[in-house]
């Protein structure tokens, strides 16, 4: 089976993997929560055993292969797919970092649990003063923002009206650099 997989073309491999994922998804849809948990544990254990037994060269080869496959897919992915991939990886990275920081904080504070709070992305703007807010920073029951300028009662000076041309392009443009800047500001 392994030789057959090694000799298949990348397109065949992608089709086979897609069929395998769909098959697993359908099986999981009918299985109970307990069965799902047992399957995850079993897969994790077998993956761990495989990784522990592989040589350093094989591990590097596996990582290199995975990276080249991922890089080959990127030029053909849509903007939505790219955003989804980046969001998935950043969330995964943040979760790992949070777990590490929580463990460090727990050790530093004598066993007390410390958790990080994430406000989400900046998605809301005040209609009066154009102040930006994080998704979780505003109350969902009110439905509007009024903590910045008291619904227009307080007049805020526009000190940012004359940006340098480069920064204005990054803030208002739609190039790849501007998209990157706006999503990571």
Kindly write down the DSSP assignment for every residue of 33-59, as one continuous string.
HHHHHHHHHHHHHHHHHHHHHS-HHHH
Residue 173 lies in a domain: yes
Within a domain: residue 48? no
Q: How confident is the model at residue 182 (pLDDT cuts 50, 70, 90)?
A: confident
Question: 13: pLDDT confidence band, cut at 50, 70 and 90?
Answer: confident
Residue 114's pLDDT band (cuts 50, 70, 90):
low
- Spatial separation of the C-alpha atoms in residues 96 and 49, rounded to whole Å: 22
Do 114 and 124 have their domain in common? no
Establish if 21 belongs to a structural domain.
Answer: yes
Determine the structural domain holding residue 93 and report its residue range.
81-118
Residues 172 and 142 in one domain: no
Overall pTM surpassing 0.75 (yes/no): no
Please report the sign of the dihedral spanned by the C-alpha atoms of residue 160, residue 161, residue 162, residue 165. positive
Domain count across the chain:
4
In a domain, 135, yes or no: yes
In terms of domains, do 127 and 111 share one? no
Asked if the structure places residue 49 within a domain, the reply is no
Q: Does residue 55 belong to any structural domain of this protein?
A: no
pLDDT one-digit tens code per residue, 64-96: 998 888 888 888 888 898 888 888 888 888 888
12 is a domain residue: yes
Q: Are residues 1 and 35 in the same domain?
A: yes
50 belongs to a structural domain: no
Instruction: Verify that 104 and 129 share a domain, yes or no.
Output: no
């Amino acid at each position: 089976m392994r030789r057959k997989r090694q000799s298949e073309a990348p397109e065949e491999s992608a089709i086979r993997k897609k069929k395998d994922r769909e098959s697993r998804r359908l099986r999981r849809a009918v299985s109970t929560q307990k069965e799902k948990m047992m399957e995850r544990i079993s897969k994790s254990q077998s993956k761990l055993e495989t990784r522990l037994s592989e040589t350093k060269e094989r591990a590097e080869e596996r990582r290199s292969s995975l990276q080249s496959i991922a890089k080959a897919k990127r030029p053909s992915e849509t903007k939505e797919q790219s955003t989804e991939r980046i969001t998935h990886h950043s969330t995964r990275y943040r979760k790992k970092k949070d777990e590490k920081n929580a463990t460090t904080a727990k050790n530093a504070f004598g066993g007390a649990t410390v958790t990080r709070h994430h406000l989400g992305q900046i998605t809301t703007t005040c209609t009066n003063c154009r102040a930006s807010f994080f998704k979780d920073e505003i109350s969902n029951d009110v439905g509007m923002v009024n903590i910045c300028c008291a619904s227009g009662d307080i007049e805020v000076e526009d000190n940012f009206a004359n940006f340098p041309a480069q920064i204005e392009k990054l803030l208002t443009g739609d190039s790849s650099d501007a998209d990157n800047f706006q999503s990571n500001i």
